[in-house]
Amino acid sequence: MTWQMWLAFLGAAWVISLSPGAGAVASMSSGLAHGLRRGYWNILGLQLGLLLQIAVVAAGVGAVLARSATAFTVIKWFGVAYLVYLGIRQWRARPTETEAETPTRGASAPALVLRGFLVNASNPKAVVFMLAVLPQFLEP
């Protein structure tokens, strides 16, 4: 890969990363609710979800999803439903006093990992990026 191509890819990835997605919101929410150290469990789940999406694209299933409007729509609406569920759950949660020194410790590490995994695994943004943007920067 030439330096010009690499810099163009870096610029495209940077611009796409600036738009806060579900993963960014999940990271911030988890960090605020559970503290910095426990928030890392959620980030681990987000990265595992991203690894699943990379594996899906690498296996060629991403191309099938891109060509099948039905499959893509099912995944998209699963993601929407999960985010709506999280929003309703947060909205209905009892208000608590928030202090920077004492974040809540309600969720276990596996629950935070699973929550992060589900957010990224059900978000088609990475699959779209890998299928629509990434190939432009690859030399066969």
Query: pLDDT for 70-126, tens place per residue?
Result: 877 787 788 778 778 878 887 887 776 555 545 556 788 999 999 999 988 888 777
Greater model confidence, 78 or 1? 78
Distances in Å between the alpha carbon of 92 and those of 7, 34, 104? 45, 18, 17
> Is the pTM value of this prediction over 0.85?
no
Q: How high is the mean pLDDT of the chain? A: 80
* pLDDT at residue 45, as a whole number: 95
Ranked by mean pLDDT, the top range of 6-10, 65-69, 100-104 is: 6-10
What's the mean pLDDT in 53-71? 76
- The predicted model gives 39-53 an average pLDDT of 92
**What is the rounded CA–CA span in Å between residue 62 and residue 60?**
5
Residue 42 has pLDDT above 90, yes or no: yes
